[in-house]
A and B are shown apart, each in its own frame.
Chain A
Amino acid sequence: MSLTVESLKEIIEDRIETTLVQVEDMSGGCGQAFAVIIVSPLFKGKNKLMRHRLVNSSLKEEIASIHAFTQKGFTPEEWEAQGGK
């Protein structure tokens, strides 16, 4: 089961309460490296490490199956404050 931008986005939206998910394929198409931006109210009051752990534990199998995974997590408020691009 190889991941695509679409399937990974769906998986994240299914498993985490989010207001926005952006997935970028950094691998050039082989499905081995993704960069994601996740905006979720669940991140409120959590530091970076806790946010990453939340995402990592929700995507355990997926992350283990790929070579590179990079993530940024924002709360909806932070996302808006930084211009929400």
Chain B
Amino acid sequence: MFRTTINPILRVSRPATSILPRRFISTEIKEALDGAVNSSPVVLFMKGTPEFPQCGFSRATIQILGQQGVDPSKFAAYNVLEDPELRDGIKEYSQWPTIPQLYVNKEFVGGCDIVTSMAKSGELAELLEANDCLVPVEEPQDSSANVKPAQRS
């Protein structure tokens, strides 16, 4: 399924004497999260890693993405358990109280419940297809037809 995924570690330095209330994320963290969300067409904030999810909801979501055929080269997962700032920050950033959280092309899609029901209805496949996030379908070898499809914007 997913190969050892890019597992960028979100490191943001915080002034030791920060007096900012915890619930308002700092500009630094917001920028780091912008970067994370932009890092791949499909981005999942989860508990654990794709290989070792550490929560049933994260596990279910990663399985669904695998079943849908998400292209591993277009996928990044961030383990919120590695970083308390990421864990709290992403909830504030997305205005979403739970983990996992799925982004496709910088757009927040939803959590496990939404991803599950979108997978059932076929909406998820449509969304991933429209954003060109799936593993290309193997086509019969025909050199004359070996034309790269135009890049979708």
Contacts and interface: CB of A to CB of B under 8 A. Distances in A.
Contact of B114 (A52, A63, A64): A52
Interface string B103-117: 000001111111001
A67 B105 CA distance: 28
B97 A56 contact: yes
A64 B97 contact: yes
A69 interface: yes
Interface string A23-56: 0000000000000000000000000110011001
A70 B117 CA distance: 12
B95 A53 contact: yes
A48 B97 contact: no
B93 interface: no
A73 B14 CA distance: 39
Which label, helix, strand, loop or mixed, suits the secondary structure of the B interface? mixed
A60 B112 CA distance: 18
B113 A72 contact: yes
Interface centre among B97, B111, B113 (most CB of A within 10 A): B97
B113 A68 contact: no
Interface of A: 48-49, 52-53, 56, 60, 63-64, 68-72
14 contacts: A48-B114, A48-B118, A49-B108, A49-B109, A52-B111, A52-B114, A53-B96, A56-B95, A56-B96, A63-B97, A64-B97, A68-B57, A72-B113, A72-B117
Interface of B: 57, 95-98, 108-114, 117-118
